[in-house]
Amino acid sequence: MAEKIGNKIIRLTEVGSTNTYLKENCDLLKQHGLVVLAEMQTSGRGRAGRKFVSLPAKNITFSVVLHPNLPLAEVQVFALMAGVVVARVLETYVDQILLKWPNDVMVRGKKICGILLETITITEQHFPVLILGIGLNTKGFLIDYPKELQTVITTLEAEILRSSNAISESEAASYLENETVFQQLLKQLECCLEEFSYDAATTLRSENIIDGRTALLQEWLKRSQAIGRKVRSLNNVEELTKGSGTVGIIEGLTKEGYLRIRTESGQILSHISGDILEIKEEK
């Protein structure tokens, strides 16, 4: 991973999906750190085939090519790392940021950013190439979005105004520049790739030395406040529809970045894919 993130940036006015654009232009996948940025996505995708709604000039939507030189079983942590990257940038603007497994960033309980990690194999690489897509709602307000999304999403501009009584709507808009936030995300991604690499070591207050991956998992858990939460683990759409699935308490993460859930029967379940629904305890 010699080239820095954003060393080459392809800027598009409009595209179906930045992830799909890269998959359709395989030669671009040879370049670690290459970024495709779009002002507007017409067919943005989220995890499990869900749609990401993009509005002209109101979102930051981009994808990054990564060559981690790791086997497929070990790349899930990059989705968690992307969440940490976004959270670190957003906390310079607003508070109450929470990460949700595996790829959502929430502010005050509403989704502000989605992350889509895809793997692809090309002949020049011995290990899978990663396409890391990030879609962040920066500008605008709920009224700008489809009605069905207005109760579940938020924007950075709306949260800046909510958290500061001393700033006007016009001041918030001028303060919040998409290009500035975009560059902050690229810089933080480069920092995290170095900080959380296998070779990196972190000194904690206890003076213990931990490896980069462990440091990443610990930061994600802290930012998610996931440990101790009661959840329903769903493996497919049928379980989601029926409200079935497995109920348990989140105990942590596996070294690969999957949730460890202690079920009601006492067994430890590794949640690898599917949705996680939090169960609110009645007071």
Q: At 204, is the pLDDT very low, low, confident or very high (cuts 50, 70, 90)?
A: low
Residues 145, 79 share a domain: yes
Q: Which letter, b or e, does each residue of 169-185 get, where b requires 16 or more Cβ atoms within 10 Å of its Cβ?
A: eeebeeebebeebbebb
CA distance 105 to 93: 14
Domain count, the chain: 2
CA distance 231 to 262: 10
Structural domain for 282, as ranges:
226-283
Q: What is the pLDDT of residue 49?
A: 47
Residues 236, 188 share a domain: no
Mean pLDDT of 29-45: 88
Place of tokens 């759409």: 237
Q: Which phi and psi angles does 68 have, rounded to 5°?
A: -75, -10
What CATH number is given to the structural domain containing 271?
2.30.30.100
| Residue 135, both tokens | 């879609």
- Residue 147 carries which DSSP code? G
The verdict on whether omega for the bond into residue 68 sits within 30 degrees of 0, i.e. cis, is no
114 lies in some domain: yes
Q: Are 115 and 123 in contact (CB under 8 A)?
A: no
Q: What is the pLDDT of residue 277?
A: 86
Mean pLDDT of 17-23: 95
- Write the single-letter amino acid at 249: I
83 lies in some domain: yes
Residues 256, 153 share a domain: no
Going from the C-alpha of 99 to that of each of 64, 104, 220, the distances in angstroms are 20, 6, 7
Residues 27, 149 share a domain: yes
Q: What is the pLDDT of residue 162?
A: 84
Look at residue 66 and tell me whether its pLDDT is greater than 80: yes
Residues 168, 237 share a domain: no
Strands 259-263 and 44-45: unpaired
Counting Cα atoms < 13 Å in the Cβ hemisphere of 68 gives: 29
Angle at 178 between CA 60 and CA 4, to 5 degrees: 75
- Which residue, 128, 122, 139, 112, is CA-closest to 55? 139
Mean pLDDT of 245-270: 93
Q: Which phi and psi angles does 242 have, rounded to 5°?
A: -85, -10
- Which residue, 38, 224, 201, is CA-closest to 135? 38
What CATH number is given to the structural domain containing 87?
3.30.930.10
Q: What is the pTM of this model?
A: 0.88
CA distance 180 to 92: 12
Place of tokens 């930012």: 223
Residues 40, 172 share a domain: yes
Q: What is the pLDDT of residue 155?
A: 94
Mean pLDDT of 239-250: 74
124 lies in some domain: yes
126 lies in some domain: yes
- Which residue, 86, 79, 21, 23, is CA-closest to 60? 86
203 lies in some domain: no
Q: At 280, is the pLDDT very low, low, confident or very high (cuts 50, 70, 90)?
A: confident
Residues 146, 73 share a domain: yes
The contacts of residue 49 (CB under 8 Å, 6+ apart) are none
